[in-house]
């Protein structure tokens, strides 16, 4: 992301057009080589980077590296691209089997160009500055969160937040770019920087505090979606159609009644003022009054499921708790926005804490028929802000609404809920009864762990109802319309259809046009529109 104007960048690079701007790691080459695994042999296979063994660094070569963001001049780029001299040839071969990020599927960006430049005839052109500000927070960014794809641990920078804005104004060296920025994490800082560089938008400009991120579009094909996502998106669409019928329908008039048709057209995440507001599902439906296909967009929002005990206990450190998957320990949020979970997912429990004395809390996981699936203690240190834990539950999880209870000295201080949705699809096809029974009957022998917690049910006043167990068994074999009805009742208990609009012509006279609806993905968003570049290099 640019933190200076294009005119400023052009003027600077024109003045120093013969230089190459790269940031070096520092002076301790031996430590850099070990830390980056350059003395190890790696091979990428089956979407995993495998460590094969040790190797020697080429003799007579000063190995260097640092940031993989840099600015190179044309002469050096042509040399690296077209030269067949011994240095370039050897370095391309050496970096073909490194761990670090790669260019052309081979050479390491974090070290290849640094090493070639410092050992080449162009070594005097190197400037130890890549003209960037990077938001490093080693405490949060070095948590080995990518071990599932690589046999190594590394670090990743954090996203900028509004509290970091002063760093763009108080730099002791030339800087023109900054990283990282993510609107799903924080859009306010992007707006601040935009205003700082180019001034404010005109009063009344729409969409300034909104952010839409597309996560699915029809050309992607439903085969890119998980069965959980496809199940939920269909349920969201049906939730929207019921909203249209109850809000717009008049007695004896079918003009606002619909029948769902086909898969979703598109899906967006929707944020307002840096808060997740839910999903926007664009979908087709047949208008029952005129028997014509219409395209609608439904906004669904998660209901609040976290509750402090009433009356509240003396324990006041717990601020929030949430269950999800894809926990990002660096940005401290779930990347699976909305927490769409199915029977074969492995959920993580997260708690957010205020400052206070060291305490120990007990966390209880209760499934939809009141089987206690897991219980564990967490020591919360005085400085802790977040804790997270993934209990090793046997799969599949029983579909339905789960409850998480948080206790202090065995007194409940809060609870939260999450939905494990039954699947209406398997491999993107309507699920068959045999598969439904497999996924919807709960874990083998009704045991989520080797240890049974059944003795805690009377202690915690969580009775197991025989009627609920029998109903769960009957639900496990549902398919077709009855399965959809079960899914819809569960989804409707934790999600609400806030609004629905029309993406095109409609026979429903009171339905708003999406283009004139502030929340819709089809509404105006001037801050994100790209047009022709102006003579001064600006887009607006």
**Measured between alpha carbons, how far is 411 from 460 in angstroms, rounded to an integer?**
9
pLDDT at 328: 93
pLDDT at 312: 72
Structure tokens at 451: 């240890």
SS3 494: helix
The Cβ-side half-sphere exposure at 209, using a 13 Å CA radius, reads: 8
Structure tokens at 432: 């068959």
Structure tokens at 460: 């915690």
Residue 44 sits at the vertex; the CA angle it makes with 41 and 46, to the nearest 5 degrees, is 145
Structure tokens at 403: 């409850």
Which pTM value belongs to this model? Answer: 0.89
CATH code for the structural domain at 211-302+495-516: 3.10.450
First vs last Cα of the chain: how many Å apart?
16
Encode pLDDT of 28-44 as tens digits: 676 776 766 676 777 77
Q: What does residue 407 show for φ and ψ, rounded to 5 degrees?
A: -120, 145
CA of residue 276 relative to chain centroid, distance: 11
pLDDT at 487: 98
pLDDT at 280: 98
- How many Cβ atoms sit within 10 Å of the Cβ of residue 231? 24
Contact 388, 335 (CB under 8 A): no
Residue 321 sits at the vertex; the CA angle it makes with 315 and 323, to the nearest 5 degrees, is 150
Contact 393, 443 (CB under 8 A): yes
Structure tokens at 109: 């960006």
pLDDT at 93: 82
| Cα dist from 295 to 3, 98, 191, 220, 263, whole Å | 40, 49, 32, 18, 12
Structure tokens at 122: 């162009």
Structure tokens at 100: 């670090």
Intervals of the chain under pLDDT 70? 26-28, 30, 33, 35-37, 39, 99-108, 141-154, 251, 536-540
pLDDT at 106: 33
Residue 454 sits at the vertex; the CA angle it makes with 451 and 460, to the nearest 5 degrees, is 125
pLDDT at 111: 85
The H or E element spanning position 194 is helix 188-198
Contact 363, 321 (CB under 8 A): no
**Measured between alpha carbons, how far is 504 from 489 in angstroms, rounded to an integer?**
29
Delimiting residues of CATH 2.60.40.1930 domain(s) in the chain: 307-477
Delimiting residues of CATH 3.10.450 domain(s) in the chain: 211-302+495-516
pLDDT at 315: 80
Encode pLDDT of 179-216 as tens digits: 999 999 999 999 999 999 988 888 999 999 999 999 99
CA of residue 128 relative to chain centroid, distance: 34
**Measured between alpha carbons, how far is 372 from 405 in angstroms, rounded to an integer?**
10
Contact 337, 276 (CB under 8 A): yes
The class that CATH gives domain 307-477 is: mainly beta
Residues 6+ apart with CB under 8 A from 177: 1, 2, 3, 69, 131, 132, 133
pLDDT at 136: 85
Structure tokens at 105: 């599927």
**Measured between alpha carbons, how far is 41 from 505 in angstroms, rounded to an integer?**
60
């Amino acid at each position: 992301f640019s933190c200076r104007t294009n005119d400023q960048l052009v003027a600077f690079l024109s003045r120093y057009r013969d230089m190459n701007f790269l940031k070096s790691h520092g002076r301790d080459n031996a430590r850099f080589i070990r830390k980056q695994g350059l003395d190890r042999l790696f091979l990428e296979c089956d979407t995993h980077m495998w460590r094969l063994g040790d190797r020697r660094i080429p003799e007579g070569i000063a190995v260097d590296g640092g940031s993989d963001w840099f600015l190179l001049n044309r002469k050096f780029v042509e040399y690296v691209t077209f030269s067949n001299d011994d240095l370039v040839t050897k370095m391309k071969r050496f970096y073909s089997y490194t761990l670090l990020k790669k260019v052309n599927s081979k050479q390491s960006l974090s070290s290849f160009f640094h090493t070639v430049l410092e050992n080449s005839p162009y070594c005097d052109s190197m400037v130890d500055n890549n003209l960037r500000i990077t938001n490093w927070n080693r405490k949060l960014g070095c948590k080995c969160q990518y071990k599932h794809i690589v046999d190594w641990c590394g670090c990743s920078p954090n996203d900028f937040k509004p509290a970091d804005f002063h760093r763009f104004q108080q730099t002791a060296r030339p800087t023109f770019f900054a990283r990282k920025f993510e609107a799903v994490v924080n859009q306010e800082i992007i707006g601040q920087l935009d205003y700082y560089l180019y001034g404010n938008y005109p009063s009344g400009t729409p969409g300034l505090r909104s952010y839409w991120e597309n996560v699915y579009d029809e050309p992607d094909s439903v085969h890119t979606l998980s069965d959980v996502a496809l199940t939920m998106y269909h349920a969201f669409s049906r939730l929207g159609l019921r909203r249209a019928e109850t809000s717009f329908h008049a007695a004896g008039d079918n003009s606002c009644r619909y029948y769902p048709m086909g898969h979703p057209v598109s899906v967006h995440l929707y944020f307002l003022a840096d808060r997740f507001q839910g999903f926007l599902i664009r979908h087709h439906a047949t208008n029952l009054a005129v028997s014509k296909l219409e395209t609608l967009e439904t906004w669904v929002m998660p209901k609040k499921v976290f509750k402090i005990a009433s009356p509240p206990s003396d324990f006041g450190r717990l601020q929030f708790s949430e269950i999800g998957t894809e926990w990002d320990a660096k940005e401290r949020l779930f990347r699976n926005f909305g927490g769409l979970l199915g029977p074969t997912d492995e959920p993580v429990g997260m708690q957010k804490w205020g400052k206070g004395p060291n305490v120990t809390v007990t966390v209880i996981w209760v499934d939809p028929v009141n089987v206690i699936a897991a219980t564990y203690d967490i020591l919360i240190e005085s400085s802790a802000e977040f804790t997270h834990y993934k209990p090793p539950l046997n799969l599949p999880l029983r579909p339905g609404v789960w409850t998480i209870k948080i206790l202090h000295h065995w007194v409940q201080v809060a609870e939260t809920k999450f939905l494990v949705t039954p699947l209406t699809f398997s491999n993107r096809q309507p699920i068959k009864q045999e598969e439904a029974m497999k996924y919807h009957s709960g874990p083998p022998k009704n045991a989520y762990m080797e240890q049974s917690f059944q003795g805690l049910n009377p202690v915690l006043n969580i009775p197991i109802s025989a009627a609920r167990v029998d109903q769960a068994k009957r639900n496990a074999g549902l398919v077709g319309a009855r399965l959809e009805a079960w899914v819809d009742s569960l989804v409707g208990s934790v999600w609400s259809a806030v609004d629905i609009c029309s993406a095109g012509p409609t026979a429903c006279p009171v339905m708003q046009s999406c283009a004139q609806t502030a929340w819709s993905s089809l509404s105006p968003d001037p801050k994100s529109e790209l047009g022709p570049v102006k003579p001064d290099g600006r887009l607006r």
